[in-house]
Structure 1
Amino acid sequence: MSTRDVRWLLDTDPALRWQVERDVVHAPPEVWRATRARVATEGFGARMLAHQDDDGRWAGGAFFPADFGPESPEAQSGAWQPFTATTWSLNALREWGVDAEVLRARRTAEKLDATCRWEYDDLPYWGGEVDCCINAWTLANGVWLGANVSALRAEMLRRRLPDGGWNCEWVEGSVRSSFHSTLNTLKGLLWYERAVGGDDEVRAARRSGEEYLLERGLFRRLSTGEPVAGWTTRFTYPFRAYYSVLNAAVHLREASLHDGTPPDPRAADAIEMIRAARTPEGTWLQGRPWAGRVWFPVDVPEGEPSPWLTYYGTVVLDWWDGEAS
């Protein structure tokens, strides 16, 4: 990456800048940690924290804001779900690197335990519900904030399907895993595993899910070898709940660094798809955003060079090419 491109990535919100300093520039820990500490008081992180309700929630709901329902204008118009409720807001803060102590000082975990219920069956927040993706985010957010998520951990392990992955439609009887559900579950399990310092059962489940994706080259049907769908190469930040080969490669890189293992060659074709999406200027362009209400935009409009996607694409290729230090 050129010096100009690095300067462009560094000229971003602290939520991204500290990660660029750590993973692209390879700055000393005291440098990127100082930038990371600013996330809670500047830019995106501070703005998101300012939207938290006194009862610990965001937008008055667990997965959907309190004003969203069948009769709401968004639902009536066919718009996608909003991304402003508690789970989405916690996901963002965690992924941006906000120190959990900031939210612990606000007693966020305790308040959510007392006030927040899932829209599905009015279930307690930290116990999760039936959706694998939602439960994976709740597991990660819970272990990050110090909530008791031991029962949720066990439930997620029980919901692994015979082919090695997960599917949020298991409650409807599905017995075949989904790319989307499997990846979101893997990300939650890895976060949990790193937070607790190791867990053999969780690690075994995670690796089985990674095997599910790798057997399919991250984008193919196991039965025919054909690509599953065009969404595998729709690169959009934030990733939200949606699968792409870039999102999957980001997870595999993090798992590889955590496990101390080299990249798996079965991902080679998917990596070349990511490489092919890089512009001659060394950037990745924002794809069509996932529509839905947000607190505020955190990346560029469709078609413009995306600092977030460029960061992720750069570190994935550096990892794959053996250039990461």
Structure 2
Amino acid sequence: MDVIEYLMEGDPAIRWQAMRDLADAAPEAVAVERARVADEGWGARLLALQAEDGLWDGGVYRPGWVDRERPMYDAWTATHFSLQQLADFGADPADARVRRAIGRVRDHVRWDQPGAPAYFDGETEPCVNGVVLTVATAFGEPGDTVVRTLLDGQLADGGWNCRAEYGAEVSSLHSTICVLEGLRDWEQATGGTVRSRAARLAGEEYLLERRLFLSRRTGAVIDPRFTMASYPVRWYYEVVRGLEYLRRTYPEPDPRCEEALALLRSARRADGRWTLANEHSGPTSFAMEGEEEGLPSRWVTLRALRILRWAGDPIG
């Protein structure tokens, strides 16, 4: 099967992005396909799971049923990660169903702690706030409060770390990529500020100095999981996510991307597709058809193909 045909047999969330980024479809056709995200398939299923109080699964970062004595418990069904997924699907912010869902969050949802701020004002951890900023920008909500928090939390090496409030002084690629995505999205929507651009550029240097996955000191792979394509990415870093960020930010690859691009090329299967190599464990709202660890993945293939197209490779 032709790899574009394979993508076009997927969910509307996959199809409209493949049409726009790989098939050069007319904007009108892309818009028609994108409108289906909120009407059918994964996007419609996700929207239907939101309660009238704006929450998914009774909680903001963790579901309402999670035992608070288990702080490391991973579940992806609560509001924060549901909104991240809705933004990934590319649900049209002008759709009435999407506007209603975002309005519920804006008007009712506050972070889980007593007296906590509203969702779109963010909280303390940069990996969380970076995703909040991406969500806010995707759906037309202001992100200025979150931006100020992020800029104030940047570390001296140029990146961010969610453990900084507990004394960490070295940045984390996990935290840094979440922040960079949020700042890029916010700047593209608003024009940004001198300070936000300087912070973003320093964060990009932090990423590029490590060639996206290698130790700056030894040249060794920082974490084997960074080489494994995943989806949904949640708060985790991996090479494909780093390359996707740069694809959306730079007109062409920086030379320091070459090892990461070579890794991506080497992972391509003989049939032109890519495998979902690492599925982050934890309960999910529903299984996305065709997305199973160890098998070909439309999400990973879509991301990989548009990265390689950006790098000048043929996609067929």
The answer to whether the 8 A contact 2:76-2:283 is kept is: yes
Q: Assess, with a 3 A threshold, how the Cα gap between structure 1 residues 226 and 8 changes in structure 2: closer, same or farther.
A: same
Report the CA distance between 1:203 and its aligned residue. Answer: 2.2
> Hey, what does 1:140 align to over in structure 2?
134
What is the rounded CA distance, in whole Å, between the counterparts of 1:107 and 1:244 in structure 2? 30
SS in 2 for 1:255: coil
> Hey, what does 2:47 align to over in structure 1?
49
The aligned runs of 1:144-159 (5 Å cut-off) are 144-159=138-153
Residue type at the aligned position of 2:218: T
The answer to whether the 8 A contact 1:61-1:116 is kept is: no
CA RMSD of aligned residues (A): 2.0
The aligned runs of 1:1-325 (5 Å cut-off) are 4-70=2-68, 75=70, 80-102=73-95, 105-106=99-100, 108-109=102-103, 111-120=104-113, 122-124=115-117, 125-256=119-250, 261-298=251-288, 299-321=290-312
SS in 2 for 1:58: coil
The answer to whether the 8 A contact 1:5-1:282 is kept is: yes
The answer to whether the 8 A contact 1:182-1:209 is kept is: yes
- Over residues 66-105 of structure 1, what are the superposed CA-to-partner deviations in whole Å (9 max), with x where a residue is unaligned? 111246xxx59x8x41101111111111111111233564
What is the rounded CA distance, in whole Å, between the counterparts of 1:122 and 1:69 in structure 2? 20
What is the rounded CA distance, in whole Å, between the counterparts of 2:25 and 2:222 in structure 1? 39
- Over residues 158-204 of structure 1, what are the superposed CA-to-partner deviations in whole Å (9 max), with x where a residue is unaligned? 11111111111111111111111101111111111122244333222
Q: Assess, with a 3 A threshold, how the Cα gap between structure 1 residues 214 and 296 changes in structure 2: closer, same or farther.
A: same
What is the rounded CA distance, in whole Å, between the counterparts of 1:175 and 1:121 in structure 2? 29
Deviates more, 1:221-230 or 1:14-23: 221-230
Report the CA distance between 1:107 and its aligned residue. Answer: 6.3
TM-score normalised to the size of structure 1? 0.90
Residue type at the aligned position of 1:287: A
Q: Assess, with a 3 A threshold, how the Cα gap between structure 1 residues 321 and 36 changes in structure 2: closer, same or farther.
A: same
Report the CA distance between 1:311 and its aligned residue. Answer: 0.9
- Over residues 258-301 of structure 1, what are the superposed CA-to-partner deviations in whole Å (9 max), with x where a residue is unaligned? xxx32100110111011111111111111131111111112422
Unmatched tracts of structure 2, length 5 or more: none
Residue identity (%): 38
SS in 1 for 2:187: helix
What is the rounded CA distance, in whole Å, between the counterparts of 1:12 and 1:313 in structure 2? 16
What is the rounded CA distance, in whole Å, between the counterparts of 2:113 and 2:216 in structure 1? 33
What is the rounded CA distance, in whole Å, between the counterparts of 1:114 and 1:105 in structure 2? 12
Report the CA distance between 1:143 and its aligned residue. Answer: 3.1
Deviates more, 1:134-143 or 1:247-256: 134-143
Report the CA distance between 1:18 and its aligned residue. Answer: 0.4
Unmatched tracts of structure 1, length 5 or more: none
What is the rounded CA distance, in whole Å, between the counterparts of 1:235 and 1:275 in structure 2? 12
Q: Which has the higher helix share?
A: 1
The answer to whether the 8 A contact 2:38-2:98 is kept is: no
The answer to whether the 8 A contact 1:284-1:309 is kept is: yes
Deviates more, 1:299-308 or 1:162-171: 299-308
Report the CA distance between 1:114 and its aligned residue. Answer: 4.4
Q: Which runs of 4+ in 1 moved over 4 A?
A: none
Q: Assess, with a 3 A threshold, how the Cα gap between structure 1 residues 60 and 180 changes in structure 2: closer, same or farther.
A: same
